[in-house]
């Protein structure tokens, strides 16, 4: 069982098996959130990510006449700002949860209906927030004189001026990278490492001008509301359809590899992450096929954000079959997770 740590809680990188369980538990918590909370967090995510395109418009205006290389680098770095705001604000973003919330479904711990509910609520609120924020941003930035309409039109037109198959394939690549970001962000417990992961991945998307359905919605919305721009609502819908499909495909393909299956000789880890008063944790590992307890352990945990590692190993190998890891707190069960040894 894993409860996510605070981003700056420190500690060594997690093994792939612990990262997977971390992601599954995180996905379950997202799937169980009430609709109102998802809608508000999704709206916030759309509003937050739009600040990247806004900053892009300002920098493209200020750098007018500069070499194209420098303008591209400036714009790509500005693009990352919106995603960093989303991560720091812990908002909901569709492309991240396309990956994260799929883990419990693949592990048969949640249904496709649960997943569809999360996707639809987060996606709808993300699009609404990004479009509203982008449209308002274009009006404010041009009124203040910090961004020219020509720079905004150029930015939006670059997003939509492609055939459907180009947007689709570009969005698949962006979705793959967002899935990679979601996975990599769970291998670090330090804020600086988390920010580095977000910056590297989203900078790659920005430099390559790949299509992200939510950030792109903000870019397109800014151009749509211009009185004499080249981007219309039809262009916006064309982009949104193919970018959404591509992002979802790319993220879903990214998560096919991880498994909760172990080899007989593996050392098997489980991390329990807690925050609050000091407590005692008791862990039990059971071979379900024979109903035999193979290991038990107790650990005292200090107050505050802590990550407690439990692990088992057997030099001559674990018997094949199904196992369960259970953890209790001060004698009360608080969670469990099943896995398989082959």
Residues 76, 206 contacting (CB under 8 angstroms): yes
pLDDT of residue 13: 45
Q: Where in the chain are the domains?
A: 33-254, 261-341
CATH number of 261-341: 2.60.40.2550
pLDDT-flagged residues of the chain (< 70): 1-26, 96-100, 103, 106-108, 186-189, 251-261, 305, 307
pLDDT of residue 278: 84
The CA distance from 204 to 127, in Å, is 22
The CA distance from 19 to 7, in Å, is 14
The highest-level CATH class for domain 33-254 is: mainly alpha
pLDDT of residue 24: 65
The model carries a pTM of 0.69
């Amino acid at each position: 069982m894993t409860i996510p740590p605070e981003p700056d809680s420190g500690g060594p990188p997690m093994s792939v098996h612990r990262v997977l369980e971390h992601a599954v538990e995180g996905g379950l918590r997202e799937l169980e959130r009430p609709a109102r909370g998802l809608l508000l967090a999704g709206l916030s995510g759309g509003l937050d990510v739009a600040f990247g395109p806004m900053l892009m418009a300002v920098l493209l205006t200020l750098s007018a006449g500069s070499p194209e290389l420098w303008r591209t680098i400036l714009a790509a770095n500005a693009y990352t700002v919106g995603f960093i705001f989303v991560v720091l604000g812990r908002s909901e973003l569709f492309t991240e949860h396309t990956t994260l919330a799929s883990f419990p479904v693949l592990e048969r711990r949640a249904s496709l209906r649960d997943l569809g509910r999360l996707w639809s609520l987060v996606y709808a609120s993300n699009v609404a927030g990004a479009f509203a924020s982008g449209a308002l941003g274009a009006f404010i930035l041009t009124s203040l004189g910090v961004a020219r309409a020509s720079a905004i039109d150029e930015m939006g037109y670059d997003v939509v001026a492609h055939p459907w198959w180009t947007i689709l394939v570009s969005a698949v690549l962006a979705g793959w990278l967002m899935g990679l970001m979601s996975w990599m962000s769970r291998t670090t417990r330090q804020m600086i490492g988390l920010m580095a992961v977000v910056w590297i991945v989203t900078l790659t998307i920005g430099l390559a001008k790949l299509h992200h359905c939510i950030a792109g919605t903000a870019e397109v919305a800014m151009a749509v509301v211009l009185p004499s721009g080249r981007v219309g609502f039809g262009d916006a819908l064309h982009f949104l359809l193919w970018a959404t499909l591509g992002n979802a495909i790319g993220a879903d393909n990214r998560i096919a590899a991880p498994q909760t299956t172990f080899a007989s000789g593996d050392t098997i880890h489980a991390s329990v992450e807690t925050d609050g008063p000091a407590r005692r944790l008791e862990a039990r590992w059971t071979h379900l096929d024979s109903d035999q307890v193979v290991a038990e352990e107790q650990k005292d945990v200090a107050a505050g954000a802590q990550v407690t590692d439990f692990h088992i190993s057997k030099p001559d190998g674990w018997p094949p079959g199904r196992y369960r890891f259970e953890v209790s707190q001060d004698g009360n069960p608080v969670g469990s997770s099943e896995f398989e040894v082959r």
